[in-house]
Amino acid sequence: LALVLLALPLAACTPAALVASLEVDPPTFELDMTMVEVAPGVYYPMLLIVPITFTGSGWAPGETVAIDLVPGEVEFPAVEPGENVGIAFAVADEDGNIETTMESITKIYILMRADIPGETMALDPATIDLIPAGVYTIQATGATSGAVGTTTIEFVMPAE
Amino acid sequence: MIFALLLFVAVPLMAACTPAEGNVARLLRLGDYTGPIAVLSIPADQGVEDYFRYVNDRGGVDGVRLIVVSIDTRYDVARGVSAFVAHQDDPMLLMVDPVSTPMTEALAPLIAARGLINYGTCDGKFQAELGRTFLWGVPYQDGFAAFIDWAVEDWQAKGNPGTPTIGYMNWDSAYGYEYMKGGQEYAALRGVTLLDPEYYPTTELDHSPYLMRLRDGGANYIFVGGVEPAGTNVIRKAYEMGLTDDIVFSADWWGISKAGASAHADELEGALIVSFFLRGAEAEQTFAGDLWVESGRGALEDMNEIYAMGVALSKNFEEGVRLALQEVGYEGLDGEALYDAFQQLTGMERFGIVGPVAYDEDDRRGSTVVKFYQVQNGEIVPITDWREAPDSVSLYYGD
């Protein structure tokens, strides 16, 4: 199986789950990713180049929003089973909007499940173990308001 | 029926008798244990763990046990932010220790909003802002200013006229830039020619283009940043290029560990290290060395000096909690109480591993002194006593 990653843009934006103390309108949370179908075997470094952008609105002005991947049954290095793992963060502007992108180091650790040895400080291609195909939940949590928004991302393996 | 009744009565009783956590004070460390700067994080964390255990084995701080919660963020700011958000509601969380400059910057407002305090590595901006971020040690730019002073002395002691030309190389990162925020101003103040900074990607494998530019600029001294082994790799490349014959190289305190000096003795011979904590055999001869052995960590010669620094930082937390308890008791122990207490640690000694604490109402520096070391025959040996690191933070950020 050629492990080529094709990420689909997300259309759905599920309603936010709110906590009792929430004082802002329900936040929205979306994910956008340019659809890039790459040739088999060249997902790296293509995956590092493709921007993965998170946007949203309705957050408390100025609050930091932590964006987590919910791993489900999938294991990630240095992540305890059952725990979410941070994949991005944003600071809401004065209108409560957020926009941020996933950093390369996160793509390496989460999407490629690879290592960055201290000796080279660079991705070790031999350790790449691509995230399994499937639909993953992504959860955004406002650090101040406690507001939570979710969306999903799907990773598929294109046909050879 | 009787069994059911017994069960009905016994289960709540048993639950009530379950040992509670007791009185605790927690430090959240957002380190890197499996990523690119694990070489820094792991020994520091070991020092914290061992020192807290040492204190707890002796009854804790007035009965309060010190707990460190260590999260592996892999040097990824996103993980650090998420980990903090997940732990921020812990009522006995008093302090956070994000082990990277960008993570510290991202978390500082969150930590302040929660009324907690945090450690910052050595970024002078937190000294300038006088907020709730307390530095581990000397601000980076002040350490660089101390290096400039040393270089001028060395230059003139060798009979050279005027002042030397100095080069600077570091990671292309917030950490790398911080040195120059005050460092450049201090160089100008001392009349030193400071070449344009050379910032290299953390992933750089060939440092020769950067080194060639500094050589061509006429550098007599080059200060190299980067967490081990990055700094070591730069100086090894310089050795390969024949530059170490004519140019004096110095690493910052995250570069050239005892193990690195031993492994690359020839290439690093003569290289300097500017450090706010003891290095080499000097570090082994402190309480941290005893603790290392007592904790079963292995042979003393295997102790990384950053372990000793971790012990010294733990002492801050211990004494801060002690002071806070005296002021507000356990019922009032929170981040605010620790914030007040940290500002009263002024002058405290920490086993001689670092200089006296400088924290007070107007100071967030962990200490104000550095020592200079040199690699000699694979060993790291001191070549100065503690020296005051000039304040260059205010030259950039203002008073």
Look at B78 and A67 and tell me if their CB atoms are within 8 Å.
yes
Which chain B residues are within 8 Å of A123, Cβ to Cβ? Answer: 203
The shortest C-alpha distance from B230 to chain A (Å) reads: 8
Report pLDDT digits (tens) over B181-239. Answer: 999 999 999 999 999 999 998 878 899 999 999 999 999 999 999 988 899 999 999 99
Is residue B94 within 8 Å of residue B52, measured between CB atoms?
no
Is residue B80 within 8 Å of residue B323, measured between CB atoms?
no
For the ranges A31-40, B39-48, B118-127, B197-206, the lowest mean pLDDT is seen at: A31-40
Report pLDDT digits (tens) over B306-327. Answer: 999 999 999 999 999 999 999 9
Option in B33, B75, B85 nearest A143 (CB): B85
Report pLDDT digits (tens) over B361-373. Answer: 999 999 999 999 9
| pLDDT on residue A156 | 72
Look at B81 and A87 and tell me if their CB atoms are within 8 Å.
no
Mean pLDDT confidence for B12-31: 73
Residue of chain A whose alpha carbon sits nearest to that of B88? A143
> Which among B112, B27, B113 has a CA at the least distance from the CA of B71?
B27
Long-range interactions of B204-207: CB distance < 8 A, separation 24+: B204/A121, B205/A120, B205/A122, B206/B237, B207/B169, B207/B233, B207/B234, B207/B237, B207/B238
| DSSP three-state, residue B150 | helix
Residue of chain A whose alpha carbon sits nearest to that of B230? A119
Is residue B194 within 8 Å of residue B166, measured between CB atoms?
yes
ipTM above 0.95 for this complex: no
Residue of chain A whose alpha carbon sits nearest to that of B86? A143
Option in A115, A118, A141 nearest B85 (CB): A141
The shortest C-alpha distance from A160 to chain B (Å) reads: 32
Residue of chain A whose alpha carbon sits nearest to that of B37? A118
Look at A116 and B81 and tell me if their CB atoms are within 8 Å.
no
Look at A64 and B205 and tell me if their CB atoms are within 8 Å.
no
Option in A77, A86, A115 nearest B78 (CB): A86
Tell me how far apart the alpha carbons of residues A114 and B296 are, in angstroms, rounded to a whole number: 32
| pLDDT on residue B2 | 45
| pLDDT on residue B224 | 98
Beta strands in chain B (DSSP E): 24-31, 65-72, 93-98, 117-120, 133-135, 165-171, 193-194, 198-200, 221-224, 248-251, 272-275, 369-376, 379-382, 387-388
Identify the bridge partners of residue A55 per DSSP, sorted by sequence position: A30, A99
DSSP code at position B196: P
Alpha helices in A3-156 (DSSP H): 43-49, 104-106
Q: Is a pLDDT exceeding 50 seen at residue A84? A: yes
Is residue B389 within 8 Å of residue B372, measured between CB atoms?
no
Option in A106, A119, A141 nearest B76 (CB): A106
Option in B35, B204, B205 nearest A116 (CB): B35
Residue of chain B whose alpha carbon sits nearest to that of A62? B109
Which residues, 6 or more positions from B298, have their beta carbon under 8 angstroms from its beta carbon? Answer: B292
Which chain B residues are within 8 Å of A109, Cβ to Cβ? Answer: 35, 74, 76
Q: Is a pLDDT exceeding 70 seen at residue B248? A: yes
pLDDT band at residue B9 using 50, 70 and 90 as cut-offs: very low
SS3 letters across B225-256? CCCCCHHHHHHHHHHHCCHHHCCEEEECCCCC
DSSP code at position B258: H
Q: Is a pLDDT exceeding 80 seen at residue A25? A: no
Is residue B108 within 8 Å of residue B131, measured between CB atoms?
yes
User: How many C-beta atoms lie closer than 10 Å to residue B34's C-beta?
Assistant: 18
Question: Tokens 């180091």 label which residue?
Answer: A105
Look at B36 and A85 and tell me if their CB atoms are within 8 Å.
no
Which residues, 6 or more positions from A36, have their beta carbon under 8 angstroms from its beta carbon? Answer: A6, A7, A46, A50
Residue of chain B whose alpha carbon sits nearest to that of A146? B85
How many pairs of residues across A and B have Cβ atoms under 8 Å apart? 85
What burial class does residue B61 get, using C-beta atoms within 10 Å of its C-beta: 0-12 exposed, 13-18 middle, 19+ buried? buried
DSSP letters of B208-227?
A: HHHHHHHHHTT-SEEEE--T
Is residue B70 within 8 Å of residue B29, measured between CB atoms?
yes
Alpha helices in A5-116 (DSSP H): 43-49, 104-106
The shortest C-alpha distance from B172 to chain A (Å) reads: 13
Question: Does the CA dihedral B382-B383-B385-B388 come out positive or negative?
Answer: negative
Which chain A residues are within 8 Å of B75, Cβ to Cβ? Answer: 105, 116
Backbone angles phi, psi at B360, to 5 degrees: -160, -165
Mean pLDDT of chain A: 75
In degrees, to the nearest 5, what angle opens at C-alpha B62 toward C-alphas B60 and B65? 30
Which chain B residues are within 8 Å of A87, Cβ to Cβ? Answer: 78
Tell me the pairing of strands A52-57 and A98-101.
antiparallel
Q: How far apart are the first and last CA of chain A?
A: 7
Mean pLDDT confidence for A122-135: 86
pLDDT band at residue A31 using 50, 70 and 90 as cut-offs: low
Option in A77, A89, A122 nearest B81 (CB): A89
User: How many C-beta atoms lie closer than 10 Å to residue A136's C-beta?
Assistant: 18
Helix axes B77-87 and B101-113, enclosed angle (nearest 10):
20
Backbone angles phi, psi at A30, to 5 degrees: -135, 160
Look at B78 and A84 and tell me if their CB atoms are within 8 Å.
no
The shortest C-alpha distance from B349 to chain A (Å) reads: 33
Who wins on pLDDT, B36 or B399? B36
Which residues, 6 or more positions from B363, have their beta carbon under 8 angstroms from its beta carbon? Answer: B127, B346
Look at B36 and A141 and tell me if their CB atoms are within 8 Å.
no
Identify the bridge partners of residue A64 per DSSP, sorted by sequence position: A91
Is residue A143 within 8 Å of residue B112, measured between CB atoms?
no
Look at B202 and A121 and tell me if their CB atoms are within 8 Å.
yes
Question: Tokens 């173990």 label which residue?
Answer: A129
pLDDT band at residue A158 using 50, 70 and 90 as cut-offs: low
Residue of chain B whose alpha carbon sits nearest to that of A64? B110
Q: Against a cut of 0.95, is the pTM above it? A: no
